[in-house]
């Protein structure tokens, strides 16, 4: 039995099986890579390890003892530290204070500052971390903060340290310092779980590797000696494409949407692309590649700093979603809960919120038309609900998504439909209904942009794929050129890519 052992971990969220029967082990003094596409179950596994989520079945054991923790605090006490992408430090406190938080050396409530500095200094020195511990955390760079976060793990004498995409916001120099630190921790006999998208990092750092796919264990390599990168990519992607897509070829018309050198605060490299009437364009990339940022600029959700948007030959001044909608551009956001549904309000109101302006007179609602619109789209989109008056919060993810689509389909004159992760957290049945709807809308002449981090999805339903990586469009492929490896290669960042996306 290994030092850290996952046995038969299973976790189901409503409508989705996030992990099923995942088992593997990691030895002491090893850096173990955890790879997989978005949604493969990596984050869920880490959350279960940190005590943030509970597995429905299965167990985690450390050093032969089964962990029965029910909270992150328990995991902490058992020597498990998870370092998340969003760091958990107090910006206004100094490095030393952050590292002593919760365990201040004190007498009668007064912090023994000298002793605190000595303790922290000794630990930092032994771990080889070179940071001025009197500085406030808010003055540190992201990379330095990451070091402090790892120092926290060292301070706590962690036995298992899990790092979730630690280099996603680091420069290459900062990454090198991080790798040196990880090497040192390996030497001390810690178990390090390293979650990353970046193949070259995993091959440089890791002793062993687990690949997850669709919540299942796709591969486990106890050693990386005879493993090739292509093999790992194949393991990450490698599923046969079944026909849940139901792709139908269409005739495409004139260019409907033309985006020219568009840039903004969160997308510094200007991006250009176009979409034709009747065309479904996929926008693929890893999380943080800048896909949603680009689409938010097109929709006017974020202010753009340069470039133009042209719809049917006319320049659109989309300073706000309000303007974009009037120009015929609509967006279904990635984060349904935060950016899509209006909690506490009915399905009827959620559908009518935008399109009602076509039916009002002097700002007074036309009740009959609102009811008719709601009923029409509940029926047309097969929203499963007892009544149009139901609070949208009570619907499943797929049905909420349909209501948001209904919101835009009830608009008149939509010319460009952007859907960001349209099927995230949605079961297979609802998925193919949504695909079918997209085909119909394209046949009616809309230009559709589908943003997705699920490669099979964009390959299954799109006429053309744009790949984004590190804030720029890195590849464009027509349907007859679709190849998983080529697309994934264009999406995986390599070291030379500048940090184009501001953190």
Q: In degrees rounded to 5, what are phi and psi of residue 107?
A: -125, 130
Q: How far is the C-alpha of 236 from the C-alpha of 214, rounded, in Å?
A: 9
Residue from 113, 250, 266, 356 touching another protein (CB under 8 A): that is: 356
344 binds another protein (CB under 8 A): yes
Evaluated on CA atoms 68, 72, 73, 78, the torsion sign reads positive
Evaluated on CA atoms 120, 121, 126, 129, the torsion sign reads positive
Contact letters for another protein, residues 399-428 (x by CB under 8 A): --------x---------------------
Residue from 14, 109, 363, 413 touching another protein (CB under 8 A): that is: 363
Shorter beta-carbon distance to another protein: residue 266 or 326: 326
Residue from 364, 379, 386, 412 touching another protein (CB under 8 A): that is: 364
The count of residues in the chain is 503
Shorter beta-carbon distance to another protein: residue 111 or 365: 365
Residue from 90, 287, 365, 428 touching another protein (CB under 8 A): that is: 365
368 binds another protein (CB under 8 A): no
Q: How far is the C-alpha of 137 from the C-alpha of 140, rounded, in Å?
A: 5
Evaluated on CA atoms 489, 494, 500, 503, the torsion sign reads positive
Site for another protein in 251-310 (CB under 8 A): 299, 301
Residue from 125, 239, 248, 367 touching another protein (CB under 8 A): that is: 367
Q: How far is the C-alpha of 393 from the C-alpha of 373, rounded, in Å?
A: 20
* Minimum CB–partner distance for residue 360 and another protein (Å): 6
* Minimum CB–partner distance for residue 353 and another protein (Å): 5
Q: Which DSSP string do the residues of 236-291 spell out, in sequence order? A: HH-----TTS--------SEEEEEEEEEETTEEEEEEEEEETT-EEEEE--TTSSH
Shorter beta-carbon distance to another protein: residue 212 or 329: 329
Shorter beta-carbon distance to another protein: residue 111 or 353: 353
Q: How far is the C-alpha of 437 from the C-alpha of 398, rounded, in Å?
A: 13
* Minimum CB–partner distance for residue 298 and another protein (Å): 13
333 binds another protein (CB under 8 A): yes
Numbers of helices and strands, H then E, in the chain: 16, 22
Q: How far is the C-alpha of 257 from the C-alpha of 329, rounded, in Å?
A: 9
Q: Which stretch binds another protein (CB under 8 A): 37-45, 347-355, 425-433, 454-462?
A: 347-355
Q: Which stretch binds another protein (CB under 8 A): 52-60, 80-88, 154-162, 363-371?
A: 363-371
Q: How far is the C-alpha of 396 from the C-alpha of 502, rounded, in Å?
A: 34
Shorter beta-carbon distance to another protein: residue 41 or 340: 340
389 binds another protein (CB under 8 A): no
Q: Which stretch binds another protein (CB under 8 A): 120-128, 237-245, 330-338, 456-464?
A: 330-338
Q: Which stretch binds another protein (CB under 8 A): 115-123, 159-167, 318-326, 432-440?
A: 318-326
Shorter beta-carbon distance to another protein: residue 135 or 356: 356
Nearest of 365, 388, 391, 367 to residue 377 by alpha carbon: 388
317 binds another protein (CB under 8 A): no
Q: How far is the C-alpha of 91 from the C-alpha of 109, rounded, in Å?
A: 22
Q: How far is the C-alpha of 102 from the C-alpha of 104, rounded, in Å?
A: 6
Evaluated on CA atoms 348, 439, 484, 290, the torsion sign reads negative
Nearest of 333, 254, 300, 294 to residue 467 by alpha carbon: 294
Q: Which stretch binds another protein (CB under 8 A): 20-28, 238-246, 349-357, 468-476?
A: 349-357
387 binds another protein (CB under 8 A): no
342 binds another protein (CB under 8 A): yes
Shorter beta-carbon distance to another protein: residue 163 or 347: 347
* Minimum CB–partner distance for residue 236 and another protein (Å): 32
Using CB atoms within 10 Å of the CB of residue 387, give its burial: 0 to 12 exposed, 13 to 18 middle, 19+ buried. exposed
Residues binding another protein (CB under 8 A): 299, 301, 320-322, 325-326, 331, 333, 338-345, 349, 352-354, 356-357, 360, 363-365, 367, 391, 394, 407
């Amino acid at each position: 039995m290994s030092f850290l052992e996952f046995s038969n971990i299973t976790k189901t969220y409503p409508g989705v099986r996030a992990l099923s029967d995942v088992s593997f082990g990691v030895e002491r003094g090893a850096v173990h890579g955890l790879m997989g596409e978005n949604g493969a179950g990596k984050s869920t596994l880490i959350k279960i390890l940190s005590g943030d989520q509970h597995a429905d079945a299965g167990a985690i054991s450390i050093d032969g003892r089964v962990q029965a923790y029910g909270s992150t605090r328990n995991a902490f006490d058992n020597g498990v530290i998870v370092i998340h992408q969003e760091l958990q430090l107090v910006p206004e406190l100094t490095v030393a204070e952050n590292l002593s938080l919760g365990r201040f050396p004190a007498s009668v409530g007064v912090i023994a500052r000298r002793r605190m500095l000595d303790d922290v200094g000794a630990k930092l020195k032994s771990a080889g971390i070179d940071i001025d511990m009197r500085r406030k955390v808010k003055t540190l760079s992201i990379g330095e903060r990451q070091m402090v976060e790892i120092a926290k793990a060292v301070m706590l004498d962690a036995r298992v340290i899990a790092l979730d995409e630690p280099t996603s916001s680091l420069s290459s120099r900062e990454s090198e310092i991080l790798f040196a630190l990880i090497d040192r921790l390996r030497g001390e006999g810690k178990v390090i779980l390293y979650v990353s998208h970046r193949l070259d990092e995993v091959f440089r750092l890791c002793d062993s590797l687990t690949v997850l796919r669709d919540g299942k264990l796709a591969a486990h390599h106890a050693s990386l000696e005879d493993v090739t990168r292509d093999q790992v990519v194949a393991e990450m992607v490698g599923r046969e494409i079944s026909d849940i897509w139901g792709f139908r070829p269409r005739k495409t018309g004139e260019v409907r949407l033309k985006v020219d050198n568009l840039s903004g605060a969160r997308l510094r490299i200007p991006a250009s692309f176009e979409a034709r009437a009747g065309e479904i364009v996929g926008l693929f990339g890893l999380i943080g590649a800048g896909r949603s940022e680009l689409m938010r600029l097109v929709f006017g959700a974020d202010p753009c700093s340069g470039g133009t948007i042209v719809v049917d030959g006319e320049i659109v001044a989309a300073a706000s979603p309000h303007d974009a909608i009037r120009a015929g551009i609509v967006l279904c956001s990635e984060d349904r809960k935060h950016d899509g549904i209006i909690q506490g309000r009915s399905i009827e109101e959620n559908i009518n919120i935008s399109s009602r302006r076509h039916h009002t007179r002097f700002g007074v609602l036309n009740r009959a038309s609102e009811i008719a619109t709601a009923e029409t789209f509940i029926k047309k989109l097969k929203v499963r609900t007892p009544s149009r008056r139901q609070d949208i919060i009570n619907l499943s993810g797929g049905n909420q998504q349909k209501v948001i689509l209904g919101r835009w389909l009830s608009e008149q004159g939509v010319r460009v439909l952007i859907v960001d992760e349209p099927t995230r957290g949605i079961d297979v049945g609802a998925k193919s209904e949504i695909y079918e709807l997209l085909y119909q809308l394209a046949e009616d002449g809309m230009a559709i942009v589908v943003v997705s981090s699920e490669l099979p999805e964009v390959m299954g339903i799109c006429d053309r794929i744009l790949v984004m990586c590190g804030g720029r469009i890195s590849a464009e492929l027509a349907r007859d050129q679709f190849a998983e490896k080529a697309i994934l290669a264009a999406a995986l960042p390599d070291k030379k890519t500048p940090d184009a996306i501001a953190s």
